[in-house]
Structure formats: structure tokens, C-alpha cells
Amino acid sequence: MKRDFEGKVALVTGAGGGIGEAIAHDLAANGAKVLVVDVQGEMAEIVAGAICEQGGVAQAYQADVSLPASCEAMVKMAEEAFGALHYAVNNAGISGAFGPLQDASVEDWRRVMGINLDGVFYGMKYQLEAIGRVGGGAIVNIASIYAHLGLNRLDAYTASKHAVLGLTRSVAIEYAARGIRVNAVSPGPILTPLTRAHAGATDSIAAMTAIKRMGEPVEIAKAVSFLLSPDASFIVGSEIVVDGGVMLS
């Protein structure tokens, strides 16, 4: 196995389950020491424990990415626990409530934006500083195919993911010359607690793909690890769409 991240430190938000859990496992399997961050602390503990059982190095940390102080603290924890921060994956996200815009609550709008968009801003604000201290590294933000498409009755989510992609691109320009590459991965339908809870009909979602199945979290993790790795050394402000071909038609 390639050990691209040997001696390096990574932080993954929303890593207590779903896609983030798979990303944390893949980075650890490739040699990174991983801070497993989730608002659900017990889930982060379980994931970090599983990584350690498999011979990796990981520590759990409970943090809510919608709070700037939490994001500052998680970055500090990575540096305290492992001595540095080289890589970060801003993955934590929620879908929010389905429904027509006129019925959407201001609270739901703020909650979705607070986690999906503000959380990426707060995260990068402190991650960039820490990664700069070690002379460079990389960040991947998790967007969505709905950074490109409209999603009927999920307006806040769609708006937040469009914004994450724009934020990724502008920050990428600012930091590329300082040795920090910032990119995005945009998943299509992936089987996780998030899609199981809201979809109801995974078969009809699978039918939207060209490949006629939903994706697995590990298929997102592999794209993230590639973008963080030295193999992606000339990739800046880009996006890998991992969607089984949904956006082709």
C-alpha cells in the first residue's frame, strides 16, 4: 500500500460516520495521524478506536464546526496531540429540511448555512494558519453535485454547496503560492446515514446514475486522498466530481 501521508497529520470534520469516517480510515491507512472530529463525540471515539485497532494512529475530538471557537480549538488539538497539521478535510454537512422555500424556517436556513458554509470558512481560517506554520500542505472541502445543479425543495443545502465551491476556488488562489493547495470533492448519491434518512427510495436515486448504483463512502475517500497527496501536486482550486455519472445527463 502507498504510504503517502507517513509522518503527516490530518484533521477530518464530520468523521464520526458516513463519508468522513471513510476519509479518516483511508488517510490513516496511508500513514497519517488523524484527528477524528465530530459534533457527536461518542461516534468520533468509535471511529478513532477502530482506526487504532487496525494499527493506525487517531484521536477523537468533539467539536461543532458551526462555532468559530470550536474550529480554532480542533486545530489546536491536532497540533497539541500530534505536533502539527498538514492536511484538513472539511466534510461535516447536513441536508436541512425538505420543502418549498416559502415554508422554510429562518432557523433551518441558518443551521444549514452555519454548518455547511460557515463551518468550512471557520475551519479553513484556522487550518490555513496551522498548515502555514509547517510550510505547506493541502485542504479538501466536500461540496456536492448540488454545487452545480438545483435540488427541488432543498434550497439552503443547494445554496450552501454552491458557495462552498466558490469559497474553495478563491481561497485556492490566495494560498497556492504559499504551498497550500485547496480543492473540492463533489459527491453524487452515496449510501450514508444522511441519504438513508432523507431519501426513502434509494433505488430511484441509484437509477439517476449512469452506473446504476449508489456510491460507497470509500469511493469518495479515495478521491480525497488523491487530492491531498503529492500525486495531485499541480491541482489547485479544482473539483473532482464522484457521482457515478449523474451529471452527464
Residues within the interface to ligand NAD (CB under 6 A): 13-14, 16-20, 38-40, 43, 63-66, 91-94, 115, 142, 144, 187, 189-190, 192-195
Q: Of 50 and 134, which CB lies nearer to ligand NAD in the complex structure? A: 50
- Catalytic residue of the set 61, 87, 146, 157: 157
Q: Of 1 and 201, which CB lies nearer to ligand NAD in the complex structure? A: 201
Beta strand ranges found along 14-86 (DSSP E): 33-38, 57-62
Q: Of 134 and 247, which CB lies nearer to ligand NAD in the complex structure? A: 247
Least spacing, CB of residue 70 vs ligand NAD, in Å: 7
Identify whether the C-beta of residue 187 lies closer than 8 Å to the C-beta of residue 23: no
Least spacing, CB of residue 38 vs ligand NAD, in Å: 5
Q: Of 193 and 245, which CB lies nearer to ligand NAD in the complex structure? A: 193
Q: CA-CA-CA-CA torsion for 18, 78, 144, 5, nearest 10 degrees?
A: -90
Structure-block grid coordinates of residue 53: 485497532
Q: Of 4 and 216, which CB lies nearer to ligand NAD in the complex structure? A: 216
Helix, strand or coil for residue 174?
Answer: helix
Least spacing, CB of residue 13 vs ligand NAD, in Å: 5
Say how far apart CA 190 and CA 178 lie, in whole Å: 34
Say how far apart CA 25 and CA 91 lie, in whole Å: 14
In whole angstroms, how far apart are CA 178 and each of 35, 208, 238? 24, 40, 17
Least spacing, CB of residue 211 vs ligand NAD, in Å: 14
Say how far apart CA 137 and CA 182 lie, in whole Å: 9
Say how far apart CA 7 and CA 82 lie, in whole Å: 10
Whether 175 is a known active-site residue: answer no
Least spacing, CB of residue 155 vs ligand NAD, in Å: 14
Helix, strand or coil for residue 171?
Answer: helix
By C-alpha distance, which of 245, 230, 41 is closest to 138? 230
Instruction: Give the active site residues.
Output: 157
